[in-house]
Amino acid sequence: DDYQIDQWNDCARLIANCVIYYNSAILSGLVDKFEKENNKKAIDVLANLSPVAWRHILLGGNYSFEDQIAITSLDRLLEEVDPLNDEDDTEYE
C-alpha cells in the first residue's frame, strides 16, 4: 500500500543522507589535514570527489557490534588515508 511505499522511500532517503553526511565528514577532515600539511596535490584530488559516492560502503550484510572494544575516531581513520595512492581502487571495479 501507499504507506509502506512512503516508509520505504523515507528509509532509503535516511540511508542516503547518512552516507552523504559520513562522506562529507571524511572529506572535510581530509581537507583540514592536507591544508595543515600544505599538500595542494591531495587537496586538488579531494576537490574532484563527491560526497554522494557509496561504492566504498557495504550496504548489505549482517553486522555485529558486540565485540567492538573501542569506538573508532574519525581523526584516527583519516591518519591512514592517502588520496594519491590508488592501489586499493581495484577492489571496487
User: What is the rounded distance in angstroms from the CA atom of residue 42 to the CA atom of residue 35?
Assistant: 9
For residues 26-42, give the mean pLDDT.
93
For residues 1-12, give the mean pLDDT.
95
- Among 80, 18, 92, 6, CA closest to 51: 18
Read off the pLDDT of residues 35-67 as tens digits, 9 standing for 90 and up.
999 999 999 999 999 999 988 888 887 878 787
Using DSSP's 3-state secondary structure scheme, residue 28 falls into: helix
Residue with the larger pLDDT of the pair 89 and 27: 27
Retrieve residue 39's grid coordinates: 599538500
Cβ pair 57, 15 in contact under 8 A? no
pLDDT band at 93 (very low <50, low <70, confident <90, very high): very low
Asked if pLDDT for residue 88 goes beyond 70, the answer is no
